Amino acid sequence: MRPRCKLSPDFSRFVAEEPIKQERRDMKKSEGYQEESVKFVPDDVIAGILGFIEPIQKTAYLKGDPRIIHETIFRLREKYPLLQDLAFSKEDVYPFSHQLERILSRLQVARILGMESPDFKRYVVRGKAKKIIHERIHTRFNIDQIFELKNIAKEFSESCLAPSQEE
């Protein structure tokens, strides 16, 4: 239950009328996750998935083939509610999402995701990027959503993980 709030005398902020249970707040803060999720966008969901790709602390490589990535996310979208906001078109050769393409581009601009090989065969998610994702993005999700992100990442990895060395 959320505490009741009232406007401060100078109308600058809201003030809690009843104290919030400190022990509950401390517990959630120590775990680093929200009791209730904060507003997040599909970019956060995709970044959150990338943050849980194994190995967690080290660099991970993903296949750079858009078809594999789009088909995998489309298939997982049927199973996981966090992916429901992604729109796909089935009128192409494979299920394709312009929205997912834009998200991947924005994650590249933000240096969360990189394209290491010059022939665009694989994406790279560095350990440092995963640390940033954990500190800034995973904290936007509640505990249940974190478990869902981990499950999505595991299934996503089964289809999209690339070998760490070029073959």
DSSP state string for the chain:
-PPPEEE-TTSSSEEESS---HHHHHHHHHHT-BSSPPP--HHHHHHHHHHTSSSSSS-EEEE--HHHHHHHHHHHHTT-GGGTT---BSSSSS-B-HHHHHHHHHHHHTTSSEE-STT--EEEE-HHHHHHHHHHTGGGSBHHHHHHHHHHHHHHHHHHB--SS--
Residue 132 pLDDT more than 90? yes
The confidence score (pLDDT) of residue 38 equals 66
Read off the pLDDT band of 167 (50, 70, 90): very low
Tens digit of each residue's pLDDT (9 = 90 or more) over 50-103 = 999 988 778 999 999 999 999 999 999 999 999 999 999 988 889 999 999 999
Question: Predicted confidence band at 36 (pLDDT cuts at 50, 70, 90)?
Answer: low
Q: What is the pLDDT of residue 20?
A: 41
Instruction: Give the residue from 128, 14, 144 showing the smallest Cα distance to 152.
Output: 144
Whether the model clears a pTM of 0.85, i.e. scores above it, the answer is: no
Q: Please state the domain extents for the chain.
A: 41-160
Higher pLDDT, 84 or 120: 84
Selection from 13-27, 43-57, 107-121 with the highest mean pLDDT? 43-57
Q: Which of 135, 127, 115, 163 is nearest to 53 (CA)?
A: 127
